[in-house]
Amino acid sequence: MSAESQKRVVIVGGGLVGSMAACMFARKQHKVDLYEARGDMRKSNMSAGKSINLALSVRGREALRRIGLEEKLLSHGIPMRARMIHTVDGKLNEILYDPVHNQCIYSVSRKFLNEALITELEQYPNCNIHFHHKMTKLDVDTGDLTFSKQGHEALIEVKGNQQQLIIGADGAHSGVRKCLMSQPLFDFSQTYIEHGYMELCIPPSDDGNYQMEPNFLHIWPRGTFMMIALPNQDRSWTVTLFMPFENFAQLKTPDILLDFFNSTFPDAVPLIGADRLVADFFSRKASSLISIKCRPYHKNNKVLILGDAAHAMVPFYGQGMNAGFEDCCVLDDLMDELEEDFARVLPKFTEVRHEDAQMICDLAMYNYIEMRDLVTKSSFLWRKRLDSFLFSIFPNFWVPLYNAVTFSRFPYRVCVQHKEFQDKIISSIITGGCAVFGLILLYLIGLIILG
Amino acid sequence: MSAESQKRVVIVGGGLVGSMAACMFARKQHKVDLYEARGDMRKSNMSAGKSINLALSVRGREALRRIGLEEKLLSHGIPMRARMIHTVDGKLNEILYDPVHNQCIYSVSRKFLNEALITELEQYPNCNIHFHHKMTKLDVDTGDLTFSKQGHEALIEVKGNQQQLIIGADGAHSGVRKCLMSQPLFDFSQTYIEHGYMELCIPPSDDGNYQMEPNFLHIWPRGTFMMIALPNQDRSWTVTLFMPFENFAQLKTPDILLDFFNSTFPDAVPLIGADRLVADFFSRKASSLISIKCRPYHKNNKVLILGDAAHAMVPFYGQGMNAGFEDCCVLDDLMDELEEDFARVLPKFTEVRHEDAQMICDLAMYNYIEMRDLVTKSSFLWRKRLDSFLFSIFPNFWVPLYNAVTFSRFPYRVCVQHKEFQDKIISSIITGGCAVFGLILLYLIGLIILG
């Protein structure tokens, strides 16, 4: 690459999406500077906040493949091939994710994935990682940035220039987005749901094994709330309880908590252990869940936001990280297609990505209802069976929504269009059937009455 | 009032809603401090930015009545009893606002109204007005405030205390709301529409008269865009052109502008005057229109936002100021009802007001389509006639949506419920009619076929 075509990319945020974007730009030989407010997580036991494990699926895998990390993550991750529904009376029902091709999603550790990305990034001589650098100011017109560095009095200034792109990958509470927000015509919404979540843990058994069937995402759907569990490498399970805040608030004493768990999740209590449950529950607070949409994602040829900074979603479709990684792929493709001209790439990114991101935010919201309630309804299960049947006959034509979202790279809006089309066909068949039945009935009545 | 029961109220923002709220608290004998970033508008020719005139209707009048200013404003305002539709070929069609009771909305000057409120406020010895004080910091937990005062180096600090309420009435880009927004569980959305607006002017005629029929809100509906005109006291008209930004951008030269106006608003060109039109149009820029929703409006017993700070809306229902003034009435009522206990008043305000405010924001968005397009459609005009007929027969039962919003104090959400109920009745009548007709047809066919 010639010196002229080498661009400079400043990335704010070294979480999953920031470090993935950095790897992609580094692969393209640009000069990359990644600034992360926290320290190097490889040197601490701290996780990057937020939830401990993630469900890696096709969109995330594609990004990992491009930077050569897919195999590493798949061999670390634990495949989950079905939902395992736990009823109150202790029955277990499997719902396969992909009855046709038997594809899996993978439970991976956020910390493992983030560390793998940072380590990969260090291989590139054209990339510098600056830990403990917190962005304090950004001028979105000039591209001038200011960082405070932990332990240093003086602020660090990074001057903007024509060849420099700033990527904001600084999460749901993005500082870069806040700077964009003061610009005219910037649409923005943040919505908290009235439910919170708390992470608990099912430890390995005494002989060091999984206490439940691994290779499943376990769900305890209870209508207005639910609990789920994802397997970890160390044979423990990360258990997450999702529930209205007011319900959390009612669980005031160990006795009330145990009564609630014994009557609602009876099979989970011995797995977690009553003592551990009480200790964990009363040492933490329920966290909130936010959904963020905004537009545009860019400012001129200077600033672009990716991942949660652009579209934070509730976690119920397991697509937050996958969608953020797909942002990186979309950007990577546009860089090739539009000859790395930021003035064309950035507006095009907003244009092609905005509707898809809105859609997955909405789908994620909807999927909470599916997971906590619909999975126990026979109408839902019948539709699932019908979808699977049609999918097996027409594998390229009748792709059910969950499969399209999770196991394809169809744009999210196209996944929903497919689903709407399928719904229309099914309801026409039903209406048509009813009409034929009605006509026959009318004919018979006519025959009887009029002889 | 005893010293113990006197509360202290700090109001941030001396626009319409801030000074109205100040008057209401001052009437209740509380100690009021009003801080306004700009200077005293009575000493300058500057308007308070934004649009020059407002449509005062029942909700706004109720607030003015409570502080004794209703008569003053009505005698200043110019009654408008109908929309006057201007077609492209120069025809004029009246659409009465209230064919049954003949009520009017009033075109009032923003500057006149704001000045009247400030002057009224000065009558209260328990109220201090601080001009040129811009809020720079607010701690929503302690209630500590900081203001910068024009021409003074040192910042002015106002300490919070248990008896002190802070009202944020600082408009769509509210600094108080920004501080609330950093709190957990604060929902927020801002949406810009893709249309901008520009104010133009029809001057009085040479002999000092109105150039068009006064007592009307004149509209030039053109499908995807429109122009409106409201009468001023000095017999001029404030003309506002609403149009997609891209259309504004296409009007690049005086010739293109005049071609556009001559073919689209031919009857308006001689009224504005071609020279004046060109001079005005090219000396200004189209402004943007924002819609803001958020929740909650309060923090503990300390902070409350009102008016545009809580629910900025597009101007098409003429309800922005009216809804802001109604906020003041709702707060005034809750203060009485809940014995001035801020810890109960503030959450209750959010609870009772939030849904209504969301609703009027949505209605305002919808009304742009009605004003610029539907008013020219015969289906709309037939429904309007049917509504007016039923309204005249059942004046308490069949109140059309526009009349309920503009000429009643029904909560906005109730206005919409009425409308939905009316729609259901009308569609049942239509469906029922079709069904009866269908059955008769079927019977006749049966007779023919089966003899």
Residue B144, SS3 per DSSP? coil
Q: Is B186 within 8 Å of A190 when comparing Cβ atoms? A: yes
What residue in B sits closest to A174 (Cα-Cα)? B182
What is the helix, strand, coil percentage profile of chain B, to 5?
45, 25, 30
Question: Which residues on chain A are in Cβ contact (under 8 Å) with B291?
Answer: none
Select the residue of B184, B288, B446 nearest A185 (Cβ to Cβ).
B288
A27 and A69, same structural domain? yes
Contact B235, B209 (CB under 8 A): yes
What residue in B sits closest to A445 (Cα-Cα)? B446
Which residues of chain B register pLDDT less than 50? 48-49
What residue in B sits closest to A245 (Cα-Cα)? B185
b (16+ CB within 10 A) / e for A93-108? eebebbbbeebbbbbb
B169: tokens are 């009435």
Question: Which residues on chain B are in Cβ contact (under 8 Å) with A185?
Answer: 192, 288
Token pair 């015969």: residue: B378
Nearest-neighbour CA in chain B from A314: distance (Å): 14
* pLDDT at res. B376: 85
Nearest-neighbour CA in chain B from A252: distance (Å): 22
Question: Which residues on chain A are in Cβ contact (under 8 Å) with B288?
Answer: 184-185
A185: contact with B, CB 8 A cutoff: yes
CA torsion, points B96, B99, B102, B103, in degrees to nearest 10? -70
What residue in B sits closest to A287 (Cα-Cα)? B184
Question: Which residues on chain B are in Cβ contact (under 8 Å) with A192?
Answer: 184-187
Tell me the residues of chain A between 265 and 304 that have a Cβ less than 8 Å away from chain B: 288
Helix or strand (DSSP H, E) at A85: strand A82-86
Across B139-245, the runs of DSSP E, i.e. the strands, are 145-149, 156-158, 164-168, 187-202, 216-221, 226-231, 237-244
Contact A37, A135 (CB under 8 A): yes
Q: Is A191 within 8 Å of B186 when comparing Cβ atoms? A: no
Residue A382 belongs to some domain of the structure: no
Residue B279 belongs to some domain of the structure: yes
Is residue A45 over pLDDT 80? no
Domain boundary among B239, B273, B288: B288
Q: Is A190 within 8 Å of B191 when comparing Cβ atoms? A: no
Tell me the residues of chain A between 6 and 25 that have a Cβ less than 8 Å away from chain B: none
| CA A116 – CA A111 distance, rounded (Å) | 8
* pLDDT at res. B25: 97
B189: contact with A, CB 8 A cutoff: yes
Select the residue of A184, A188, A450 nearest B189 (Cβ to Cβ).
A188
A144 and A27, same structural domain? yes
What residue in A sits closest to B182 (Cα-Cα)? A173
B265 and B140, same structural domain? no
A258 and A180, same structural domain? no
Question: Which residues on chain B are in Cβ contact (under 8 Å) with A186?
Answer: 190, 192
Q: Is A189 within 8 Å of B188 when comparing Cβ atoms? A: yes
Domain boundary among B263, B288, B313: B288
- Determine the structural domain holding residue A210 and report its residue range: 192-288
Nearest-neighbour CA in chain A from B192: distance (Å): 6
Tell me the residues of chain A between 66 and 125 that have a Cβ less than 8 Å away from chain B: none
Q: What is the mean pLDDT of residues A144-169?
A: 92
A157 and A52, same structural domain? yes
What is the helix, strand, coil percentage profile of chain A, to 5?
45, 25, 30
Residue A200 belongs to some domain of the structure: yes
Is residue A50 over pLDDT 60? no
User: Number of CB pairs < 8 Å for A and B?
Assistant: 33
Contact B23, B121 (CB under 8 A): yes
Select the residue of B184, B188, B288 nearest A184 (Cβ to Cβ).
B288
B109 and B140, same structural domain? yes
* pLDDT at res. A49: 45
- Residue of A186, A189, A287 to mutate, testing the B interface (most B Cβ within 10 Å of its Cβ): A189
What residue in B sits closest to A451 (Cα-Cα)? B450
Helix or strand (DSSP H, E) at A287: strand A287-295
Tell me the residues of chain B between 190 and 249 that have a Cβ less than 8 Å away from chain A: 190-192
Question: Which residues on chain A are in Cβ contact (under 8 Å) with B184?
Answer: 192, 288
| CA A285 – CA A249 distance, rounded (Å) | 10
pLDDT tens digits for range A78-88: 999 999 999 99
Helix or strand (DSSP H, E) at A201: strand A187-202
Predicted ipTM?
A: 0.80
Nearest-neighbour CA in chain B from A275: distance (Å): 31
Residue B385 belongs to some domain of the structure: no
Select the residue of A185, A189, A288 nearest B189 (Cβ to Cβ).
A189
Burial class (CB in 10 A: 0-12, 13-18, 19+), A19: buried
B261 and B138, same structural domain? no
Farthest-apart Cα atoms in chain B, separation: 100
**A364: β partners:** none
- Residue of A180, A181, A182, A191 to mutate, testing the B interface (most B Cβ within 10 Å of its Cβ): A191
| CA A407 – CA A385 distance, rounded (Å) | 18
* pLDDT at res. A48: 43
Contact A257, A198 (CB under 8 A): no
Tell me the residues of chain A between 432 and 451 that have a Cβ less than 8 Å away from chain B: 446, 450
**A93: β partners:** A85
The DSSP secondary-structure symbol of A38 reads: S
B268: tokens are 């308006």
Across B73-172, the runs of DSSP E, i.e. the strands, are 78-80, 82-86, 92-96, 105-109, 127-130, 133-138, 145-149, 156-158, 164-168
* pLDDT at res. B48: 43
Question: Which residues on chain A are in Cβ contact (under 8 Å) with B450?
Answer: 446, 450
Instruction: Give phi and psi for A225, each to the nearest 5.
Output: -155, 175
A196 and A182, same structural domain? no
Contact B222, B329 (CB under 8 A): no
**B292: β partners:** B190
Question: Which residues on chain B are in Cβ contact (under 8 Å) with A450?
Answer: 446, 450
Nearest-neighbour CA in chain A from B446: distance (Å): 8
* pLDDT at res. A1: 57
**B290: β partners:** B192
B199 and B251, same structural domain? yes
B26: tokens are 């001052």
Torsion-angle region of B266 (φ positive above 0: left; ψ -120 to 50: alpha; else: beta):
alpha
| Residue B64 CB neighbours (<10 A) | 23
Residue B39 belongs to some domain of the structure: yes
Instruction: Give phi and psi for A401, each to the nearest 5.
Output: -55, -50
Contact B56, B322 (CB under 8 A): yes
Beta strand B8-12 pairing with B164-168: parallel
Contact A34, A11 (CB under 8 A): yes
| CA B246 – CA B66 distance, rounded (Å) | 44
What residue in B sits closest to A446 (Cα-Cα)? B446
Q: Is A185 within 8 Å of B450 when comparing Cβ atoms? A: no
Domain count, chain A: 3
Nearest-neighbour CA in chain B from A214: distance (Å): 35
B203 and B183, same structural domain? no
Close Cβ partners of A35 (under 8 Å, ≥ 6 residues apart): A10, A11, A12, A13, A14, A130, A133, A135, A147
| CA A302 – CA B95 distance, rounded (Å) | 50
Close Cβ partners of B20 (under 8 Å, ≥ 6 residues apart): B63, B67, B117, B324, B325, B328
* pLDDT at res. B184: 86
A184 against B361, higher pLDDT: B361
Q: Which of A417, A391, A364 is nearest to A102 (CA)?
A: A391
A186: contact with B, CB 8 A cutoff: yes
The dihedral sign for the CA sequence B255, B257, B261, B263:
positive
Question: Which residues on chain A are in Cβ contact (under 8 Å) with B185?
Answer: 192, 288
Q: Flag the least confident range among A253-262, A321-330, B25-34, B385-394.
A: B385-394
B360 and B217, same structural domain? no
| CA B307 – CA B11 distance, rounded (Å) | 12
- Grade residue A46 by pLDDT with cuts at 50, 70 and 90: low
Residue B1 belongs to some domain of the structure: no
Select the residue of B187, B191, B192 nearest A190 (Cβ to Cβ).
B187
Domain boundary among B270, B288, B306: B288
Q: Is A288 within 8 Å of B185 when comparing Cβ atoms? A: yes
Residue B379 belongs to some domain of the structure: no
Select the residue of A186, A192, A446 nearest B187 (Cβ to Cβ).
A192
Contact B350, B195 (CB under 8 A): no
B173 and B78, same structural domain? yes
* pLDDT at res. A128: 97
Residue A96 belongs to some domain of the structure: no
User: Which domain CATH number covers B353?
Assistant: 3.50.50.60
